[in-house]
A and B are shown apart, each in its own frame.
Chain A
């Protein structure tokens, strides 16, 4: 129940966040900027005191442990290498602060440089490195300490698109290899989905859903969560007896769907063009847009707007203004409260 309420602010930056983070896993704190996720990270690192709540590592409260003794190492968003030190001195910083013997520091720094694929760059100045290299040095500087918890604040946000994929794979493989419990903050749902074992979505300082990435796509907790993950289609109606009654007509629901009044949702990419034994509707294609790897269709069923995305090949030959058979596969439907 971690809360941070800045004095003078009308509501808490982070409101009663409760997370049970499994050891050795990669967990993402996901949310738009300003939702309190960096605040949460700093509190876990001990760099910020929570207004109320507790932080427990392996059954023991670390709330009163100073940041340097907590075993939780944070890597900041803008990697913050110490400009006056060489790359090797940056990586060895934490070990020097612990007064470890020089020879062992040198050896471990060399190992670390290899691990983050920067062999032989130890003597360079941080300012001589590219953004991606600096980020890897920052990662090495934290990993060398073998922290109990590694905290990464937007580790990919300062990188170019092609470097981002490399860095993402590096983080994933290092985390697997070293089995360090890792919490990373991101505003990018795709990044969270690809990297994390579990994702905690925070909106407006509140935890909205904590689940595996797949769950967020298949079983979003509410419409806001679904929207954050790219959900576009929301149709109000009533679920009963495995059926959903709405202006779209009557549709078959998956077995675990809740009953009662609710909102039907289906992801744009789950919609199929063509007929099937169940859940097939007739829709009019009113607009289409080419988006490179996919094509977005705007469909109207009765007076309900529906958005579907297909691959450009699948969308080949579909004419705007014609009526199409559209199938909403049962397994892809979900009912939100």
Chain B
């Protein structure tokens, strides 16, 4: 790795810098807005600074803190469900051959192909009948539509690369089924679980349409709240909420960056899709 030619390293640094600028730059005005007391067109920076937007955003009346908790709860729940369902499903698709496997694969991919809003309308009528509309549980379930395919596909890639005999070897050496999973299977699939879980969390975190439709305006997650303030012209408060909204994604990325870098099984799995 240290033997790369200078030109390649320079190119890598340059593209990385461009990527960061491209991702970070649009966020800077938001951050500035959140500290501004009015910011009119020709001015490069606001005339006056203020903490009003932040004071309001962090106060009880704004509901940002509640909404942050709710969004976290939903995203965590969706992530847990995605892992619980996606790992076994990915194992089945990656390791075993069975009748109708191609159809199952197509059905799992379908939510990525069919526009989500179309599916959501259908789900909405079913959820009314089931009494799941306007509930957190309903929102969690509908968030699985975009998250589960990713999880399943990542895990299918991971399991396809896992030698089934490795588990049999552990069993033969005296490990029970749970010990085998804990000591042999889990270490091998953990990078995939982390990558998939990260995806699931962030996809759920940034859901707008599905939450609005199934939550019926009663389940107010951060993106809904953000949209309310943005459309009502409170750019300063919207800016503050946006900064709060971006934070978990940035944190997750920082914590898990090492799992996504280098010659990692997780990326191998994504590459194998």
Residues of A within 8 A of B (CB): 42, 45-47, 66-69, 72-74, 76, 78, 80, 82-84, 93-94, 97-98, 141-142, 145, 151
Contacts and interface: CB of A to CB of B under 8 A. Distances in A.
Interface string B158-193: 000001011011111111100100011001100000
B187 A80 contact: no
Contacts of B163: 78, 80
A76 B179 contact: no
B165 A93 contact: no
Interface in B247-273: none
B174 A82 contact: no
29 contacts: A46-B171, A46-B172, A47-B168, A47-B171, A47-B172, A66-B176, A67-B171, A68-B172, A68-B173, A68-B174, A69-B174, A73-B172, A74-B169, A74-B172, A76-B169, A78-B163, A80-B163, A80-B165, A82-B187, A83-B188, A84-B188, A93-B170, A93-B175, A93-B183, A97-B183, A141-B173, A142-B173, A145-B174, A151-B172
A93 B184 CA distance: 10
A97 to B, nearest CB: 4
Nearest to A70: B172
A9 to B, nearest CB: 13
Contacts of A66: 171, 176
- List the 10 closest pairs (A to B, CB-CB), nearest first: A94-B173, A74-B172, A67-B171, A97-B175, A84-B187, A80-B169, A94-B174, A47-B168, A68-B174, A97-B174
Contacts, number: 63
B175 A72 contact: no
B184 A67 contact: no
B179 A42 contact: no
Contacts of B179: 97
Given A80-B163, A97-B179, A72 B172 contact: yes
Contacts of B171: 46-47, 66-68
B166 A80 contact: yes
A69 B174 CA distance: 7
B159 to A, nearest CB: 16
B190 to A, nearest CB: 9
Given A80-B163, A84-B188, A93 B168 contact: no
Given A82-B184, A84-B187, A84-B188, A98 B174 contact: yes
Most chain A C-beta atoms within 10 Å of own C-beta, residue among B174, B176, B179: B174
Contacts of A78: 163, 165
A81 B165 CA distance: 11
A159 B174 CA distance: 27
Nearest to B186: A84
Contacts of A72: 172
